[in-house]
């Protein structure tokens, strides 16, 4: 996208100061800049860069008063951060890079493909699958039998959606995500080997869910593993069979949720957290990175930390003593000796 | 699969109570049910659902005595859980979704393909590879040169088996598993950069092994990384070069095993556990989730917890004091002050 | 590769003792050996195997004096380990298994492909992409629009490089690596849902970087996520948006680095470590496996351990007391009771 300062100012509801004909084709950070880029000054801490930046256009607030000469054309707006958000959307809204049904894709004649769907090279859409309007299936994606993909959902290269799983509308699944692999369930046998438990359930991903690269969501033994509306999962996360993640919960990278655990709505969960199976986690729970949740959490809206996790503040206090444990140990030994000496003296 | 209650009862060795002609096409949970589904009552805790479930057929034990009217047709069996297992097998034993050799696959003329093998679209079978009878290679799988795949083994979409690796019979490798990536080995140079150590070994996966989605098993520097018979690995696990996992050991998701470590047989290892390299872990060891194993474990059959891990019970006890560390710290300070005061008084 | 002992000795600058015409086709461990293999005796601890090994050729040091008869042909060299390194390179330097541009690949006419490039079956090279001389693109790889791949860089099967990312020269990206997935950034809305923050930046991977299987590197919101020269990343690592990893830093498997954190040069980071976002980590920092880095580290060259991490030695000392916490707790209680009794007695 190539756009003039004038056109951008119009789009953002701002006013131009400088050359309205200068064009930009990308956003930049103010300290990096570069000709042809548009940068912004949101926090006056970075003001010094405004005078040295090589960005062609600078987005500033209405009341910004330069104290030195500037080379960039200014666009003044009311809300700098709001305008930056609009800007990123604008520059990011490039074409998907895939359009129409590639003749190198395999789309089963028994699949149903709505209008405006794109299917990339070497992608597979199996029999009984349904792709909603304007769904984007990037190259090398696998869509199993009877899978449903909602309208406008985007599947990046290498995504695998196995048989019978359902993905909602306006979802984004990043590269190499796996949805619907078998859960990890085995019945111990008398000879101490394990017998696989067949998984006949599926995975349901509701609307407006984003799932990060390489994340795996296992299918249910029976019934469904469910990722509710608006959930955001980062990369390399493991979601076990029959798990349910409540609406608008966000989970950072490399966290794992063991089988049958139900996580509430509006939770905020750090990276590398582990959840035991069969637990229930209350709405609005916040969990620090690397914590281990070994049991259900019933009180909503509380913060937790540690492995196994305890209330956040308790952990912070306990950990501050943990660091001093060698001192504490020595103090106790010293006191014991002093006491013993006093006792002995008392007896003498 | 569509089957009548009568036929199912026959298959399960049970007896019908109600309409023998009602048909079911899927299993369900008793609290979810749904017309056309078969559910089960294994634990009387769920008895109330027996009277409200919309499942068409309900599997119950021979001695179950309903206390209210039921709408579902009953099938009475001796062992409800056993019957459920058979049922899941039956409903799960659908076709693989791939049969024959796709003309959109690339199978090298120098590969050897046994009878009954299926190779899906856009899969690659390189020269020198051998596929055993009835092996199932799903679409978009990569099989490198001289790879051997045993009879009836199933490779899900996106699996990558790199050159010279060997997979046994009756294995299941889930989507996007990588077998035979190079180990992480580098020789530090004088200029503080690193020189890659070439990995000329391979990976051997024995029979009846299941490997979860996105798990990686690195090839040996020389010799073989070995996953013994009956091992079950969950999703997103990392197995380093020259590691050996003993027969019938199970490992939960996101655990990592560093290079050259040997894990014994019949171990049970939780999720997100880390193993140091070059350790030996005794048979039957049990390790709690998120533990860190920093040294060899020589005594078989013991349980461990913590990072670095200590014996399970010791950890539980130590952690229960950890939570009280601030109290302990205050108690000690208070006692010290009281003692000092007493001492001072004694001296006065 | 099939080579005679004579030819190998010549290549390694060594001398033959025994049959110079015996041929070998692979390296082996001395305790495993095998006819047609070449093994080595580097450490005299393994000397006993020299007399029993079935390897056809044995690499030994110039001053090795056998105390028993040997069946293997010897090659004597000055530096055994150096020779083994050369040997592994030699045997490892097999053909890439892919050469030329497969007619089953899709290479955009708007892509630029240098001399000697190989592109495997079902790989995709999108418009505007540039492949440097002798780059190796294995089958089933995805290369997005405007991606640059440096000379001699190898992309293993299933690698996904998304639009606008740049990979340097002599890099190795193992199977299923994802470069350029969107960062995990969402703006909380008033209704407590989240709005995606568009990511218009890219990823820059400099020269001589190796990235392990299934590792993900997210693109920057704006600007670039940067992996500097000579960095080595193991498998299943997560690198967040706008992160920078300094030159020649090595990171073991399953570690995660949250957004905008800058890690210094020559750092050595264990497996399953977590880094908070927006931190700066000094050059030469060493971090033990499973540690959690919750803040910036300013002093270079120090070692850290624990979650949250503290200086390595402090952690080791504190952890040694942690194990004794129940004893410490009992000792304190006992002392308190003894003191109380003494006090009471004093008062009586």
| pLDDT single digits (tens) B97-136 | 788 999 999 999 999 999 999 999 999 999 999 999 999 9
Which residue out of C138, C241, C248, C319 is catalytically annotated?
Answer: C241
User: A2: which 2 tokens?
Assistant: 């190539």
Residue linked to tokens 């004093």: C346
Secondary structure element (H or E) that encloses residue B181, with its range: strand B178-181
Is residue B60 within 8 A of residue B80, CB to CB? The reply is: yes
Chain B residues whose CB is inside 8 A of the C83 CB are: none
Q: How far is CA B139 from the centre of its chain?
A: 22
Mean pLDDT for the stretch of residues C203-221 = 97
Contact check, Cβ <8 Å, A172/C194: no
Q: What is the pLDDT of residue B142?
A: 98
CA-to-CA distance for C215 and B176, rounded, in angstroms? 12
Please tell me the distance from the alpha carbon of residue C173 to that of residue C154, in angstroms, as a whole number.
6
Question: CA-CA distance, C330 to A164, in Å (whole number)?
Answer: 58
d(CA C301, CA C264): 10
Virtual torsion, Cα B237, B240, B246, B251, nearest 10 deg: -10
Angle (deg, nearest 10), helices A312-322 and A325-347: 60
In contact, B265 and B245? CB cutoff 8 Å: no
Q: Are C185 and C167 in contact (CB under 8 A)?
A: no
What's the whole-number mean pLDDT along residues B222-226? 94
Between strands C250-251 and C210-211, the pairing is unpaired
- Give residue C103's pLDDT: 96
Q: Where are the domains of chain B?
A: 3-95, 106-314, 322-347
- Is residue A182 a contact partner of residue A201, using CB atoms and an 8 Å limit? no
Instruction: Report which of A174, A161, A302 is spatially closest to residue A236, judged by C-alpha positions.
Output: A174
State the DSSP H helix or E strand holding residue C334, giving kind and residue range, or none if neither: helix C325-347
Highest mean pLDDT among A41-45, B183-187, B254-258: B254-258
Contact state of A193 with B248 under an 8 Å Cβ cutoff: yes
Q: Across all residues in chain A, what is the average pLDDT?
A: 93
Q: Name the minimum distance, in Å, from the CA of A128 to any CA of chain C.
A: 25
d(CA A73, CA A64): 13
Interval B323-330 mean pLDDT: 94
Residue A320, SS3? helix
pLDDT in tens, A93-123: 555 678 899 999 999 999 999 999 999 999 9
Name the helix (H) or strand (E) containing A5: helix A5-12
pLDDT band with cut points at 50, 70 and 90 for residue B169 = very high
Query: Could A175 and C192 be called an inter-chain contact, meaning their C-beta atoms sit closer than 8 Å?
Result: no
The reply to whether residue B308 touches residue C319, judged by beta carbons under 8 angstroms, is yes
Coil vs helix vs strand at C181: strand
Is B329 in the C-facing interface, judged by CB distances under 8 Å? no
Neighbours of chain C (3+ CB pairs under 8 A): A, B
Place of tokens 């670039």: C224
Average pLDDT over residues A209-235: 97
| Whole-angstrom distance, CA of residue B118 vs CA of residue B122 | 12
Selection from B288, C153, C157 nearest residue C165 by Cα: C153
Query: Tell me, what's the pLDDT at A93?
Result: 52
**pLDDT the model gives residue C268:** 98
Taking CB atoms and an 8 Å limit, are B121 and A124 in contact across chains? yes
C93: pLDDT confidence band, cut at 50, 70 and 90? low
Task: Look at the alpha carbons of C290, C294, C300, C304 in this order and tell me if their dihedral is positive or negative.
Answer: negative
Pairing of strands C268-269, C250-251: parallel
- The sign of the CA dihedral C71, C77, C78, C84 is negative
My answer on whether omega of the bond before A308 falls inside 30° of 0, hence cis, is: yes
For residue B95, the model assigns a pLDDT of 57
% of chain C beyond a pLDDT of 90: 76
- Which pair of structure tokens corresponds to residue C28? 């082996």
Handedness of CA B327, B331, B334, B340 (dihedral sign): negative
The lowest-confidence range among A88-92, A165-169, B326-330, B339-343 is A88-92
pLDDT tops 90 at residue A264: yes
Cβ atoms A127, A143 nearer than 8 A: no
* Cβ contact A204:A223 at 8 Å: no
Instruction: Reply yes or no on whether the pLDDT at B1 is more than 70.
Output: no
Smallest Cα–Cα separation from A290: which of C287, C235, B271, B250?
A: B271
Calculate what percentage of chain C has a pLDDT beyond 70: 97
- Assess whether the previous peptide bond of B206 is cis (omega < 30° from 0): no
Considering only A44-48, C141-145, C281-285, which range has the smallest mean pLDDT?
Answer: A44-48
Chain C residues 202-231 within an 8 A CB cutoff of chain B: 208, 210, 212-214, 230
Q: What dihedral angle (degrees, nearest 10) is formed by the CA atoms of C20, C23, C27, C33?
A: -90
Q: Which chains touch B (3 or more CB pairs under 8 A)?
A: A, C
pLDDT at B43: 83
- Nearest one of A222, A277, A199, A287 to A249, comparing CA atoms: A287
Residues with Cβ within 8 Å of residue B31, at least 6 apart in sequence: B46, B49, B53
Q: Does A234 touch chain C (CB under 8 A)?
A: yes
Q: If you average pLDDT over residues C36-65, what whole number do you get?
A: 89
| Chain C residues near residue B335 by CB distance under 8 angstroms | 332, 335-336, 339
Find the helix packing angle between B325-347 and C325-347, rounded to 10°.
30
Task: State the pLDDT at residue A56.
Answer: 93
- How many angstroms separate the CA of residue B129 from the nearest CA in chain C? 13
- What are the structure tokens assigned to C161, written together? 């490089």
Q: How much is the pLDDT for C92?
A: 60
Please, are residues A292 and A273 in contact by the beta-carbon 8 Å criterion? yes
- What confidence tens digit (pLDDT) does each residue in B287-297 have? 999 999 999 99
CA distance linking residue C268 with residue C262, whole number of Å: 14
CB B328 within 8 A of CB A321: yes
- Cβ count within 10 A of residue A89: 14
- Cβ contacts of A246 within 8 Å, gap of 6 or more: A228, A231, A262, A263, A264, A265, A266, A267, A283
Hey, what long-range contacts does B96-105 have (CB within 8 A, 24 or more apart)?
B96/B136, B96/B138, B96/B154, B97/A126, B97/A144, B97/A145, B97/A163, B97/B138, B98/B136, B98/B137, B98/B138, B98/B139, B102/B139, B104/A106, B105/B137
Question: Which range among A220-234, B26-40, C209-223 shows the weakest confidence by mean pLDDT?
Answer: B26-40
Q: How confident is the model at residue A183 (pLDDT cuts 50, 70, 90)?
A: very high
B158 touches chain A (CB under 8 A): yes
Cβ pair A192:B91 closer than 8 A: no
Please confirm, yes or no, whether A241 is among the known catalytic residues: yes
Query: B 34-63 residues with CB below 8 A of A?
Result: none
* Tokens at A74, concatenated: 């200014």
Arithmetic mean of pLDDT, A214-234: 96
- What are the respective helix, strand and coil percentages of chain C, to the nearest 5? 20, 30, 55
Of A196-200, A325-329, C315-319, which range is least confident?
A196-200
∠ CA A249-A253-A258, rounded to 5°: 70
Tokens encoding B57: 């057929």
Least trusted range by pLDDT, from A216-230, B168-182, C78-92, C177-191: C78-92
Higher pLDDT, A95 or A57: A57
For position C133, what pLDDT does the model report?
Answer: 96
Under 8 Å CB pairs connecting chains A and B tally to 175
Label the pairing between strands A216-218 and A178-181.
parallel
Report pLDDT for C291: 98
Q: How far is CA A253 from CA A257, A274, C218, C274, in A?
A: 12, 11, 11, 10
Structure tokens at B149: 């795949």
Architecture of domain A3-95: 3-Layer(aba) Sandwich (3.40)
Paired tokens of B136: 């199932």
B307 contact A CB<8A: yes
C-alpha B220/C-alpha C290 separation (Å) is 24
A106-314: what fold?
UDP N-Acetylglucosamine Acyltransferase; domain 1 (2.160.10)
Q: CA angle, C205 as apex, C204 and C208 as ends, to 5°?
A: 155
Cα angle at B314 between B313 and B318, to 5 degrees? Answer: 120
Which residue among B97, B230, B307 sits closest to A126, beta carbon to beta carbon? Answer: B97
pLDDT tier at C198, thresholds 50, 70, 90? confident
Indicate the pTM of the whole model: 0.88
Residues of chain A contacting residue C317, judged by C-beta atoms under 8 Å apart: 325-326
DSSP secondary structure code for residue B136 in this structure: E
Tokens standing for residue C342: 């003494």
Using CA atoms, how far apart are residues B199 and C88, in angstroms rounded to an integer? 7
R_g of chain A, CA atoms, integer Å: 28
CB half-sphere exposure, B229, CA atoms < 13 A: 4
Angle between helices A325-347 and C312-322 (to 10 degrees): 50
CB atoms within 10 A of CB B155: 29
C228 close to C265: Cβ distance less than 8 angstroms? yes
Residue A285 pLDDT level (bands cut at 50, 70, 90): very high
Tell me which residue has tokens 């090398």. A140
């Amino acid at each position: 996208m190539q756009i003039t300062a004038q056109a951008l100012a119009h789009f953002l509801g701002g006013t131009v100061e400088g050359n309205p004909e200068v064009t930009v084709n990308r956003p930049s950070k103010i300290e990096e800049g570069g000709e042809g880029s548009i940068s912004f000054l949101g926090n006056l801490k970075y003001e010094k860069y405004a005078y040295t930046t090589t960005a062609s256009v600078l987005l500033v607030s209405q009341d910004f008063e330069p104290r030195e000469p500037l080379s960039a054309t200014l666009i003044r707006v009311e809300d700098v951060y709001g305008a930056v958000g609009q800007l990123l959307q604008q520059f990011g809204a490039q074409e998907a890079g895939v359009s129409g049904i590639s003749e190198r894709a395999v789309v089963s004649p028994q699949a149903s493909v709505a209008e405006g769907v794109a299917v990339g090279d070497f992608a597979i859409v199996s029999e009984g699958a349904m792709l909603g309007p304007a769904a984007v299936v990037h190259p090398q994606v696998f869509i199993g039998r009877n899978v449903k993909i909602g309208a406008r959902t985007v599947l990046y290269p290498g995504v695998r959606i196995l048989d019978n799983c359902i993905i909602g509308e306006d979802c984004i699944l990043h590269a190499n995500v796996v949805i619907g692999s078998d859960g990890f369930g085995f019945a111990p046998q008398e000879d101490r080997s394990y017998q696989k438990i067949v998984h006949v359930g599926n995975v349901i991903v509701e609307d407006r869910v984003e799932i990060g690269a390489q994340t795996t969501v296992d299918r249910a033994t029976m019934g469904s593993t469910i990722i509710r509306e608006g959930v955001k999962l980062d990369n390399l996360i493991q979601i076990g069979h029959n798990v349910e993640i409540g609406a608008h919960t966000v989970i950072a990278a490399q966290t794992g949720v063991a089988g049958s655990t139900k996580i509430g709505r509006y939770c905020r969960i750090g990276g590398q957290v582990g959840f035991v199976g069969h637990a229930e986690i209350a709405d609005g729970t916040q969990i620090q990175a690397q914590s281990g949740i070994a049991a259900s959490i019933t009180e909503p809206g509380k913060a937790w930390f540690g492995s196994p996790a305890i209330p956040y503040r308790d952990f912070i206090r306990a950990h501050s003593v943990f660091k001093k444990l060698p001192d504490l140990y020595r103090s106790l030994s010293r006191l014991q000796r002093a006491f013993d000496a006093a006792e002995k003296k008392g007896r003498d």
